[in-house]
Amino acid sequence: MLDQHAAFGRIVDMHTHVFDSLPQPDARVLERMQRLARDCGIAQTVLLANGTGILADMKANEALIRDINTYTLKAMAHRPERIIGFCYLNPAHSQRFLHEELERCITRGGMRGVKLEAAVNARDRRMDPLMEMVEALGVPIVHHSWYKATPHGRNESNPSDIADLGRRFPQVQLIMAHLGGARQRGILDIHDLANVAVDTSGSQPEEGLVEYAVRRLGAERVVYGSDWPIRDYAVQLGRILAAEISDRQKEMILCGNARRLIGLGEDGGSCSS
């Protein structure tokens, strides 16, 4: 099925991690990541952060953030044609540090966006200075989000929090992580915000959820993300390939939208080079 799809070999996975030591990558870890991706027709993976660092981010000191981003920079250098980095940040840090890290990672380092986890809730006004910096750079933010039946983390954001942030900063492109955690309620939270897209990661595939997101948001606001290695590339691709949407919409979700959002091509959803 995969090799018959128009996007095979050009797919962009917008949501991946690694679990490795910091800050020096193990080449074997990166090669396994890329071999498994390549076997699924994924051409490029967006590395949002080393998951080992994220799990330690309850205290979120600046040295840890630097190590997380240094790992990503080295991973990008290891496979520049396949690994795209996002700058991992904690908005609670000083504006000086945030500016310096954005300069190091994006302006000089070539990363193509910012990743925010659960250090600061999206409604918190400590977000504002970072959002202004990101707006000036013109890069997107991938922000963790989830609706849970169990208690949320102390500063964890849900889709309504992401919607609040999107309304405050309409010129910043947000990608709300985890369609599988946002579900229908989360899509309704963001449906009227043209600057907020959603990635398809989170939980296991559920029939009808991708179709619902496409109906409510339009296919141009949905991007494929696996959350590898927490979830499997192929299983998460099945969410898109089995969806009852057009081939053109699948192509947009699997690669065209990602290429447009992170500046790999202004082709309106095409996966062409």
* Gyration radius of the chain's alpha carbons: 17
What are 263's two structure tokens?
A: 């500046």
Residue 136: C-alpha distances to residues 47, 99, 114, 131, 171 (Å): 22, 11, 13, 9, 10
**What is the rounded CA–CA span in Å between residue 195 and residue 163?**
10
Judge contact between 57 and 64, C-beta under 8 A.
yes
Residue 93: C-alpha distances to residues 96, 125, 150, 234, 260 (Å): 8, 13, 28, 37, 30
* DSSP SS3 for 96: helix
Q: What are phi and psi of 226, to 5 degrees?
A: -100, -30
Residue 268 lies in a domain: no
Q: What is the pLDDT of residue 15?
A: 98
Per-residue DSSP letter, 228: B
Q: What is the pLDDT of residue 51?
A: 83
- With vertex at residue 248, the alpha carbon angle to CA 244 and CA 254, rounded to the nearest 5 degrees, is 85
**Which domain range does residue 227 map to?**
2-261
What are 72's two structure tokens?
A: 């990503």
Q: What is the pLDDT of residue 270?
A: 61
The tens digit of pLDDT for each residue in 135-166 reads: 999 999 999 999 987 777 778 999 999 999 99
Residue 201's pLDDT band (boundaries 50, 70, 90)? very high
The tens digit of pLDDT for each residue in 206-246 reads: 889 999 999 999 999 999 999 999 999 999 999 999 999 99
Mean pLDDT of 36-60: 82
Beta bridge partners of 197: 175
Mean pLDDT of 19-45: 96
Residue 270 lies in a domain: no
Q: What are phi and psi of 47, to 5 degrees?
A: -90, 110
What CATH number does the domain containing 174 carry?
Answer: 3.20.20.140
Single out the residue of 55, 65, 63, 71 nearest to residue 23, CA to CA.
71
> Average pLDDT over the chain, rounded to whole?
92
Judge contact between 267 and 229, C-beta under 8 A.
no
Residue 272 lies in a domain: no
Residue 66 lies in a domain: yes
Per-residue DSSP letter, 79: S
Distinct helix (H) and strand (E) counts, the chain: 11, 9
Single out the residue of 33, 2, 7 nearest to residue 18, CA to CA.
33
- Structural domain tally of the chain? 1
Judge whether residue 273 has pLDDT over 80: no
The tens digit of pLDDT for each residue in 82-133 reads: 999 999 999 999 999 999 999 999 999 999 999 999 989 999 999 999 999 9
Q: What is the pLDDT of residue 2?
A: 41
**What is the rounded CA–CA span in Å between residue 264 and residue 153?**
34
